Structure 1
Amino acid sequence: MSTKTYRIVVVGGGSGGAMAAKQIAAKLPSGSITLINPLPFIVVRPTLARMTVSANNDLLETAMIPYDKLFSGPNGTFVQGVVHEIKPAKSKKGGVVVLEDGKEIQYDILVLAPGSHWDGPLDIPDEDAETFVKEQRAKFSKASKIVLVGGGSVSIEFAGEIKDEWPNKEVTIVHNGASLLNDTYTDRFRKSLDASLRVRGVNLILNDYVDEIPTDGSAVQTRNGHTVEADLVVATKGPRPRTGFVAKSLGESAVDSRGQIKVEPTFQLPGHPTIFAIGDAINAVEQKQAAKAGTHAGIVAANVVALVSGSKLKEYKGSTEMILITNGRNGGRAYFGFLWGLVFGDWFARTLKSKTLMVPMSRSALGY
């Protein structure tokens, strides 16, 4: 098939999907690339803790970045919409994507980057995101005793932002592990995070669970019998893959038991050589992070070109685990999984992420 008529559709405009669409459009200037996303802008997700806690920033204006400058040439198009169904051709070469409004978009190659469903303040709605953010800010401002359920990076970053804004508010994290995060990371790193929050007055309840999150400002009851007074309880657990339409369209065998899309090392779906998937929603055995989605995007862009030209496709070999977690505007911790596991502290985190939350870099990547 000629590249002049190739139609590439990318579903999902997060860090992986947007970069995949941009790179494919640059590599295949004679192709037709369509990016579909429910929102008309990308949300820079590392900003959400600060954006939804505090009004003392410009993140509503700078961290929701439109797609209007994503494509440098005329071969890229953005369509706002929610994908309802995929209809592969019987030959499994190409097919049609159906949106919730009934619109159909044909594809020769499809890239799925649907991302995840989140809870609480991270659950940015498809409509009126600004109102939602302002409502979250009002909840945090009004509360005096806040419980964060889950002890991953999201919870840590929320705790840091709350303490920056209101040092005297009572903040408690309930986590099911012996230290924050999970055992992907070394005990040394995890314990350093514990200590960095405790020194700011954050209470940690470890090796415990909250089975039911109250919505009426009542106390939290943990599985191990703790009662924690709260007037705001925030779910900060990990996300769930946004893949219902994939299982519905391609069959339950297309996803694993956690709802993650099954992929080959080339990011192709088994049995569907013209469908790729990347980002949080795939079953790669690794921590789900925006940086990894960006790496996926580069490989998929190269593989789309290879598929068009009949060349050999690249395989993803995985990524070294690393993470950079903020603790407010001036602190945080970083981990790099080299050697024995390298740990860096406040100065490193502040310089690379905490001050700007990588907004300038994200804007530049989208053409701003």
Structure 2
Amino acid sequence: MANSDSKIVIVGAGSGGGAVLARTLSSKLPTAKITLINPLPYSVSRPALPRMTVSDQNDLSETALIPFDKLFPKPNGSFVQGLVETIRPGDKGGVVVLADGQEVSYDILVLAPGSIWEGPLDFPADKDSVKAFLGETRARFAKAQKIVLAGGGAVGIEFSGEIKDIWPEKEVTIVHGDTLLMSAQYPDRFRKGFEKRLRDRGISVILNDFVDEFPAPGPTTVKTRNGHSIDADLVISTRGPRPNTAFVGRSLGADTLDERGQIKVTKTLQLLNHPNIFAMGDAINTAENKQIMRSLAHGGILATNVAAMLSGKALKPYNGSMDVIMITNGKTGGMAYIGILWGIIFGDWFTRLIKSKSLLVPMTRSSLGLK
């Protein structure tokens, strides 16, 4: 496959995935045509969303929704706003079809569709709906006095810290379906450490239980699956996401997805029966925690492999990457885990220095070409 004038299409502009890859390929392959497709005309810096959606006491809606004005360092890149409905693969390349009927042809396709979230992280794909969505979500948090968060992973923990930062007097309860917060892929001392931090802030934690119903905002009593009764006037889903891959299975066949809806990929991050289609990020079935740093690692391998494919060279395998997670506890605290040696855990000072204060927004903007 010739490098010159080759068409590379990237579907999905997550700030830790597709958008960074598009920028990298623009520099790396100056004679190729790079097209990035995304429903919104900006990349959403997802680490900022808990703070952004809880309150307007920050400038995040101005800085964490990152436009593509400076994304492409070379004139070979273009952005198309739209929602991909269908992929039509061919013998050499193929076409992606958008919801408005527009067709974009490719020689190499990279899928970075991300995830579908619930609750206040269910960010609208329609730009005109974003302002109303933020206003309504913030108003619900401001009005509520007793808030139940269904899910005690990173999302639930970070929401609880943001709420307590602004309204220390509000009652916040996390209901989580495991014996400890977060998932069992992390060490117990990390999980227990966060539970102590939350309880010290007056946040209630109910473990080994589930919330199955999400009533409309207003005074109510939440009945958990195991019989707990919790007074609440706002019940929010902070559960983990599901892969945004329905269009992939619909287009390329159900066998392209695993039982969880994740895209099956080879060690080189290619789809099993479609060698000129790659995938990356949260939506792929690599056996690892889904983290921004992992998506960036996928992008690094894909930048190499796309260039190798165009020049007829051998592709490199993705052999995994270091497990790194930082979870905030409001603006001044949190915990971090780095999966090296015996597993290193850092507390408030480290997490505040790296993430809690800025939520990585300046770093993310820089990675997409903006200050």
Provide the secondary structure at the position in 1 that maps to 2:4: helix
Q: 1:313 aligned to 308, 312, 315, which one?
A: 315
Query: 1:185, 1:126 → 2: CA distance?
Result: 32
TM-superposed deviation, 1:247: 0.2
Match of 1:110 in 2: 109
Query: 1:130, 1:64 → 2: CA distance?
Result: 12
Match of 2:8 in 1: 8
Match of 2:51 in 1: 50
1:155-304 paired onto structure 2 within 5 Å: 155-217=156-218, 218-304=220-306
In the TM superposition, what whole-angstrom CA distance separates every residue of 1:162-184 from its partner, at most 9, and x where no partner exists?
A: 00000000000000111100111
Match of 2:73 in 1: 72
Query: 1:68, 1:359 → 2: CA distance?
Result: 16
Query: 1:258, 1:73 → 2: CA distance?
Result: 38
Query: 1:215, 1:25 → 2: CA distance?
Result: 46
Match of 1:331 in 2: 333
CA contact under 8 A between 2:293 and 2:324: conserved in structure 1? Answer: no
Query: 1:216, 1:348 → 2: CA distance?
Result: 36
Which piece of structure 1 moves more, 319-328 or 190-199?
319-328
TM-superposed deviation, 1:241: 0.5
Query: 1:209, 1:279 → 2: CA distance?
Result: 28
Query: 2:192, 2:309 → 1: CA distance?
Result: 46
Provide the secondary structure at the position in 2 that maps to 1:4: coil
The answer for unaligned runs of 5 or more in structure 1 is: none
State the TM-score, normalizing by the size of structure 2. 0.97
Query: 2:303, 2:69 → 1: CA distance?
Result: 20
Which piece of structure 1 moves more, 121-130 or 39-48?
121-130
CA contact under 8 A between 2:36 and 2:79: conserved in structure 1? Answer: yes
Query: 2:10, 2:217 → 1: CA distance?
Result: 40
In the TM superposition, what whole-angstrom CA distance separates every residue of 1:334-355 from its partner, at most 9, and x where no partner exists?
A: 1111222211111111111000
The answer for unaligned runs of 5 or more in structure 2 is: none
Match of 1:20 in 2: 21
Query: 1:237, 1:80 → 2: CA distance?
Result: 28
TM-superposed deviation, 1:130: 2.0
TM-superposed deviation, 1:134: 1.5
Query: 1:310, 1:11 → 2: CA distance?
Result: 23
- Compute the RMSD of aligned alpha carbons: 0.8
Query: 1:290, 1:38 → 2: CA distance?
Result: 20
Letter in 2 for 1:95: G
CA contact under 8 A between 2:217 and 2:235: conserved in structure 1? Answer: no
Query: 1:266, 1:120 → 2: CA distance?
Result: 34
Letter in 2 for 1:5: D
Query: 1:107, 1:321 → 2: CA distance?
Result: 33
Match of 1:136 in 2: 137
Q: How many residues align?
A: 366
In the TM superposition, what whole-angstrom CA distance separates every residue of 1:66-97 from its partner, at most 9, and x where no partner exists?
A: 011100111000000000000001x2x20000
Match of 1:98 in 2: 97
Provide the secondary structure at the position in 2 that maps to 1:195: helix
**Identity over aligned residues, as a percent?**
60
TM-superposed deviation, 1:216: 4.4
In the TM superposition, what whole-angstrom CA distance separates every residue of 1:131-161 from its partner, at most 9, and x where no partner exists?
A: 2112111100000000000010000000000
Query: 1:148, 1:255 → 2: CA distance?
Result: 30
Letter in 2 for 1:85: T
